[in-house]
Structure 1
Amino acid sequence: MFWKEKSAAEMSDDEWESLCDGCGRCCVWKFEDEDSAEILYTDIRCHLFNDNTCRCTDYPQRTTIVPDCMDIRTFSDQQYSWLPESCAYRLLHEGKPLFAWHHLISGSKDSVHAAGISLRKKTVCGENFTEEDIVRHIIDPDEADA
């Protein structure tokens, strides 16, 4: 249970990367409502995101290929709010425990999908969308399986 014993700065790269639950929620387009400051999620995915596996198809080069892709390890305190409330990185940053469905707890990488947390097979590729189109793709990721 290294995540309980180490800070993010103390974790090895492998430990840090193993925290990702594979939900895919960080790989969809999102924006901040100007009035409420709420983070709004869409079902529009990054073109590097594999909708079947919920993984990036070129993870090592992602920030070079997709300039808007963010390296969570370099986040400021405020940027963590852009991550889903269920995200292990956000939970640990906020001093909260991982959920029982997280693979480091459950022992299965499929538990995120079984729990209905992931966006596997629920996204569309992010190409050629107008601003009006994007608004029609706003989702509540917590109701993705409803």
Structure 2
Amino acid sequence: MGNDVSTKTADSLRPQFWERFALAELKHSEWEALCDGCGSCCLIKYIDEDEQGNVDEELVEYTDVTCKLMDCATGYCRHYESRQEYVPDCIQLTIENLPDMMWLPAHCAYKRLYKGQSLPAWHLLLTKDAVATQQQMRAANVGVAGRCVSETGMSDEEMEMRVVTWVTP
């Protein structure tokens, strides 16, 4: 999931692609442009599954502890493009595994579009203004920038004590 819609990337995006095409029909650049860069998917979370492997979104608990690659000041991955080289089990969100990832936050564009909902009003694809989007995301209490801590050196017990309520599945 990309962090911004650059001019080069924006040129390769079809107008209102998120409204006009199914997720499976998106080009790679369009798929990446859906990411709002909030960083919530990089937070360590506790996910309970039933016997069939289904996840009850209401029971997912997010912590404020994030992957070692996250820059907690900016809320962006330090090695996004090559993250699997550093963290082999890092999530690679695809159209195929999206149905199994309904633990994503309620504001997540991928989850919202999958469920037939619209993009959040503050999404960069709608505002076309990165500063406005960041301000509106903060106002909506979205994003990990400035309020996460790295998993580096943290015990499982310490992580369990860091459950937060500012991420809603």
TM-score (norm 1): 0.86
Out of 81, 102, 108, the position equivalent to 1:60 is 81
Of structures 1 and 2, the larger Rg is shown by: 2
1:19 aligned residue: 34
| In structure 2, C-alpha distance between the alignment counterparts of 1:77 and 1:89, rounded to whole Å | 8
Cα deviation, residue 78, structure 1: 4.0
> Which residue of structure 2 aligns with residue 92 of structure 1?
113
- For 1:103 and 1:27, locate their aligned partners in 2 and report how far apart those are by CA, in whole Å: 20
Equivalent of residue 137 in structure 2, options 108, 112, 120: 112
Shift of 1:108: 2.5
1:51 is displaced (CA, Å) by 1.7
Q: Does 1:42 align with 2:67?
A: no
| Distance in 1 (alpha carbons) for counterparts of 2:163 and 2:107 | 18
1:122 to 140, 147, 151: 147
The residue number in structure 2 matching 1:5 is 20
Change (3 A) 1:77 1:17: closer
Amino acid of the structure 2 residue aligned with 1:102: H
> Any idea what SS the aligned residue of 1:9 has?
helix
Seq. identity, %: 34
Kindly indicate whether the alpha-carbon contact (under 8 Å) linking 2:46 and 2:60 is maintained by their aligned counterparts in 1: yes
1-structure distance, mates of 2:122, 2:68: 27
Conservation of the 8 A alpha-carbon contact between 2:45 and 2:63 = yes
**3-state DSSP of counterpart to 1:59:** coil
Cα deviation for residue 127 of structure 1 reads 1.4
Amino acid at match of 2:153: N
Moved more, 74-83 or 55-64: 74-83
Give the number of aligned pairs.
Answer: 143
The whole-number CA distance in structure 1 between the counterparts of 2:118 and 2:128 is 16
* Mapped partners of 1:53, 1:5: distance in 2: 32
Residues 1:2 and 1:74: Cα distance change in structure 2 (over 3 Å): closer
Deviation at 1:104, TM superposition (A): 1.2
Contact 2:40–2:167 under 8 Å retained in 1: no
Q: Distance in 1 between matches of 2:127 and 2:165?
A: 25
- CA drift of 1:34 comes to 6.3
What are structure 2's unaligned runs of at least 5 residues? 1-15
Distance 1:70 1:34 in 2: 18
TM-score, normalised to structure 2, is 0.75
Distance of 1:18 and 1:45 partners within structure 2:
22
